[in-house]
Amino acid sequence: MKKALKKMMVNVTAKLLQQPSIEQQLDDNTLHCAQPLPSLHNLASPYALKHPESTPVTSERDDIVFITSRFRSGSTLLWNLFRQTPNCSAYYEPFNERQWFNEQTRGDNVDNTHRGVDDYWAEYNGLSQLSDTYNEDWIRKSLYMSAQSWDPQMKRFIEQMVEAAPGRPVLQFNRIDFRLPWIKQHFPNAKILHLYRHPRDQWCSFLTDQNLMNKDDVQHTYRDAFYLDVWCRDLAKHYPVLDKRNTPHPYQRFYYLWKLSYLHGLAFSDMSLSFENLTNAPETVISDMFSKLTMDTSSVESLVSVIKAPPAERWRNYADESWFAKHEHICEQNLSVMLNERPIAEQLR
């Protein structure tokens, strides 16, 4: 009964929206909101007082480190490396809906695949005031933010963690890859580390039941455990290939999201590193990373012991090369068209 009533209400609403007068009003509103603003520079007011000493601005600090990565890409491992590093305060997934700063919501569960991690929230103890600026909509809405996007509440939320950090503030996010233009605009002197993983292995890590979601049935049996549908639904407004109506196969939607995230990371980060390199040559990668961050490298040797490399190319147990290649080729062709680029095959010649 509820489903029938809901369907009827949706149909009635759809018909109302198709009325010419309503369509015209919506079009007019859209055109009005889309008007370009004049290019203005914030020049000093002739009445402004001149202050001999400027007040330090948190967002302009040059010791802030942002880690950006997708889910199931090794970001917890990278966060844990900084957590184990002296003089660093590493915050785990600040936007997470468990709200690590809130003892009533965070619970005590720790993913058993996160080796060497006993909790995610120690750095948040004593930061209950973050509840005043936290917005759970950040995990599902406005996942793309341009440099001009306006969210002072998000900025203040991040600033509070930076200000409270007893050591160098390191913030590990799984939800800022499409917001990096905004991050760079509002934290211009921060360093951004971009971590990525082979999409095929990351896909297999996404699947909570590979028997149910096997390569032959996954289009019909896919169960979303790591926000793929949430991200595609919101970002499809900007990247139509993510729309389920255009791309019904979940691996193709996953690959589009992975590739677009990867491209954003390359474009806006100070350093990009692969999970495979980090786990296969940890001493070299960590030393290079710390050097670029002007950090002491004396702890690198002890940090190497934190890393346990997972089995390589686990995706081969899920499907053969041709299955993945077929889907990825379709995606790459469509991405080249959408981004007005030469096809990847031509770039590789």
Per-residue pLDDT reduced to its tens digit, 304-328: 998 988 888 999 999 999 999 999 9
Q: Is 34's pLDDT higher than 90? A: no
Cα radius of gyration (the chain): 23
Place 23 in a pLDDT band, splitting at 50, 70 and 90.
Answer: confident
CB 283 within 8 A of CB 300: yes
- Apex CA 102: angle with CA 123 and CA 194, to 5°? 50
Query: What is this structure's pTM?
Result: 0.89
Which pLDDT score is estimated for 56? 85
Burial label for 281, CB within 10 Å (0-12, 13-18, 19+), is middle
pLDDT digits (tens, 9 = 90+) for 127-148: 999 999 999 999 999 999 999 9
Give me the pLDDT at residue 309, please. 82
Statement: residue 177 has pLDDT above 70: yes
What is the pLDDT, as a whole number, of residue 174?
A: 97
Strand partners, 66: 171, 192
Mean pLDDT of the chain: 92
pLDDT at 42: 87
pLDDT for residue 15 is more than 90: no
Tell me how far apart the alpha carbons of residues 345 and 330 are, in angstroms, rounded to a whole number.
12
pLDDT at 39: 86
- Per the model's pLDDT, the better-predicted residue between 41 and 287 turns out to be 287
Q: How far is it, in rounded angstroms, from Cα 110 to Cα 98? A: 12
What DSSP assignment string belongs to 176-192? -GGGHHHHHHHSTT-EE
Confidence at 348, pLDDT banded by 50, 70, 90: low
Cα torsion angle, 213, 219, 220, 223, sign: positive
Range with top average pLDDT, 7-16, 49-58, 216-225? 216-225
Span 213-242, pLDDT tens digits: 999 999 999 999 899 999 999 999 999 999
Q: How far apart are CA 331 and CA 257, in angstroms?
A: 10
Q: Give me the sign of the Cα torsion angle 291, 293, 298, 301.
A: negative
Query: Residue 116's pLDDT is what?
Result: 85
Asked if residue 83 has pLDDT above 70, the reply is yes
- Residues 103-114 pLDDT 10s: 999 999 998 888
Task: Give the type of residue at 39.
Answer: S
Comparison of pLDDT for 346 and 110, the residue scoring more: 110
Q: Report the alpha-carbon distance of residue 202 to residue 195 in Å, rounded.
A: 12
Across 80-84, 95-99, 115-119, 126-130, least confident range = 115-119
